[in-house]
Structure 1
Amino acid sequence: MVSCGTRRFFLLGTVVVLLSACAGKFRTYDGPPVTRLRIYKSERLLFLDGETGPLKTYPIGLGFAPTGHKQFEGDGKTPEGRYVIDRRNPDSLYHLSIGISYPNDADFAFAAEQGRAPGGDIFIHGGPRRGKEPLNVRDWTAGCIAVNDRQIEEIYSMVRNGTPIEIFP
């Protein structure tokens, strides 16, 4: 016969397991709104700013060719300039991701003048799923901004589409 205390302990344990399974990668955020993102490539830092200043700061990884502005598809560079967060991907191959509006009109025009494609699909994202690129190098993406999975979960919950982002050399 199972005692009432044992049954209660078992039920409580089951509830804890179920709640932790529901937590997953989607977090909630009810703090001050993020009004702007700033990335300083040379310092490898991402700032989430609010009305009164920085709310959070994260170390980042960049494209495999981190110096200079992205100009062409496949150049491995991370863009520089002013963009906006324009989309979210909850099913990203890189845990979670938020899209950056690269290329803008100037990026398209420059690439067209050179007879080349500007590239695209630039995101802030987490680490790769197992079997993809290793995270043992600092700058490993094809031009995106990488953070770890816990950090992208936080960023994903805090940043809304339409938020401006400035990427500095």
Structure 2
Amino acid sequence: MLFVVVLASCGGQPQSKFKTYAGPPVTQVQINKGQRVMMLFSGNQVLKTYRINLGNNPVGDKMFEGDGKTPEGVYFIDRFNPNSQYYLSVGISYPDPQDVAQAEAYGRRPGGDIFIHGQGAEGRAANRPDWTAGCIAITDSEIEDVYSMLRPGVPIIIRP
């Protein structure tokens, strides 16, 4: 009988990528691009810290679509994509009206679809730092945690 129980536990269902989180609420996300770090806060307490990858041209603020930069400033978590090509992804409210005006001053579009996301197959294939088009990338395992911890409206501060 014990053999059957052990055998059944080895061949069970695959683990879901959707985790649950019952800890303190995340009240702010801070990203320091220069240090390549993302921190999730509850009040003044750091709950988690992650090493990150950025856009393929990471120094400086995003000016327009296609520049390979990750935006800088204050944004908000605004959407969740459970079917992302990068495993799971959490949307950032870029562009804001100032970003749109800045891009238009260059005669360009600001772009959009800036996310915190996992690696997915493309990220693992890149196997190098700063490979995104302007997003913030962490591992697939880490995005499972972040996806479960964040809620819409949480501010995200992205610093140089």
**TM-score interval (norm. to shorter):** over 0.9
Secondary structure, aligned partner of 2:30: strand
Match of residue 157 from structure 2: 166
Relative to the length of structure 2, the TM-score reads 0.94
Question: How many Å separate the matches in 1 of 2:32 and 2:139?
Answer: 17
Helix, strand or coil for the counterpart of 1:71? coil
Instruction: Tell me, yes or no, if structure 1 residue 147 matches structure 2 residue 141.
Output: no
- Give the Cα separation in 2 of the matches to 1:106 and 1:9: 64
Distance in structure 2 (CA, Å) of the matches to 1:114 and 1:75: 12
State how far apart, in whole Å, the 1-side matches of 2:11 and 2:147 are: 24
2:16 to 2, 19, 24: 24
Q: For structure 2, which runs of at least 5 residues remain unmatched after alignment? A: none
Give yes or no for the alignment of 1:87 onto 2:84. Answer: no
Which residue identity is paired with 1:54? Answer: V
Counterpart check, 1:44 vs 2:3? no
Instruction: Please list every run of 5 or more consecutive structure 1 residues that lacks an aligned counterpart in the other structure.
Output: none
Task: Compute the displacement of 1:113 (Å).
Answer: 2.3
Deviation of 1:135 after TM superposition, in Å, equals 3.6
Q: Find the structure with the greater CA-based Rg.
A: 1
Letter in 1 for 2:144: E
SS of alignment partner, residue 14 of structure 1: helix
Superposition CA RMSD, Å: 1.4
Q: How far 1:51 moved relative to its partner?
A: 1.8
Q: Which amino acid aligns with 1:75?
A: D
Question: What displacement does 1:114 show?
Answer: 2.1
TM-score under structure 1 length normalisation? 0.89
For residue 17 of structure 2, what is the amino acid of its counterpart?
Answer: K
